[in-house]
Amino acid sequence: MQQIFERVKKIILNPRDALAEVKTEEIVIGDFMKEYVAIVAAVPAIAQFIGLIGRGNLFSILLFVVLGYVVNLVVVFVFGKVLEALAQTFGGVKNTEDAFKLAAYSYTPYFIAGIFNINPALSILAVLGGLYGIYILYLGVPTLMESPQDKALAYAAVSIIIMIIISFVLGLLVASVAGVGYMAG
């Protein structure tokens, strides 16, 4: 757990160095998803669960939070695939492991800022983490995906647009399954 904390801290406080450091690390995607992404993605889910307790039907809240957590894991996985698929289009190197690292580390600030979900009125602040994640994505495209610096902005922008669409669709699916009626009690 200490290793995860240190990695999160470095990604947030010194992303350029952290990304250069992770470029040389070998990963197994399944292990990386379990040992890093699943843990960091739990922050907003746990905070949201705590923040919603007593505000509606417990089963519906739990279903909503669990589905949201699963969607976050799926989004990181899909984002890795998107980054990998777009690499050569933007002059980068198609590398599955580096694409997954970039996806996960780009989402890290968003997941950590998800602590604000503990108070539903503050949950909008998680968006700030997401914005910082976009900056990390921009920094990471040349480092991890080896795309030329002059194509990094376009690569990041196209990736983000694709992920916004995918996230929106997945969010609609969660809302339709869990319902927005968890507040109804």
Given this model, what pLDDT does residue 180 score?
Answer: 54
Q: Is residue 66 situated within a structural domain?
A: yes
> Which residues 6+ apart lie within 8 Å of 106 measured at CB?
79, 133, 134, 136, 137, 140
Q: 146-177 burial, b if ≥16 CB within 10 A, otherwise e? A: bbeeebbeebbeebbebbeebbeebeeebeee
- d(CA 30, CA 126) in angstroms, rounded, equals 26
The distance in angstroms from the start CA to the end CA of the chain is: 36
For the stretch 49-70, pLDDT in tens is: 998 887 778 888 888 889 889 9
Helices (H), the chain: 2-13, 15-23, 29-32, 38-40, 42-52, 58-86, 96-113, 126-144, 149-178
Q: pLDDT of 114-141, one tens digit each?
A: 999 888 788 788 889 999 999 999 999 9
In a domain, 184, yes or no: no
Indicate whether 185 belongs to any domain.
no
Residue range(s) defining the domain that contains residue 61:
2-179
- pTM of this prediction exceeds 0.95: no
Q: Could you give the number of structural domains in the chain?
A: 1
Whether 162 maps to a domain, the answer reads yes
Which residue reads 């996960």 in tokens?
104
What does the alpha-carbon distance between residue 150 and residue 49 come to, in Å, rounded to a whole number?
Answer: 42
Residue with tokens 């307790």: 53
pLDDT at residue 114, as a whole number: 93
| CA-closest candidate to residue 49, choices 125, 120, 127 | 120
One digit per residue, pLDDT tens: the chain, 185 residues?
899 999 999 999 999 999 999 999 999 999 999 999 999 999 999 999 998 887 778 888 888 889 889 999 999 999 999 999 999 999 999 999 999 999 999 999 999 999 998 887 887 888 899 999 999 999 999 999 999 999 999 999 999 999 999 988 887 887 777 665 444 44
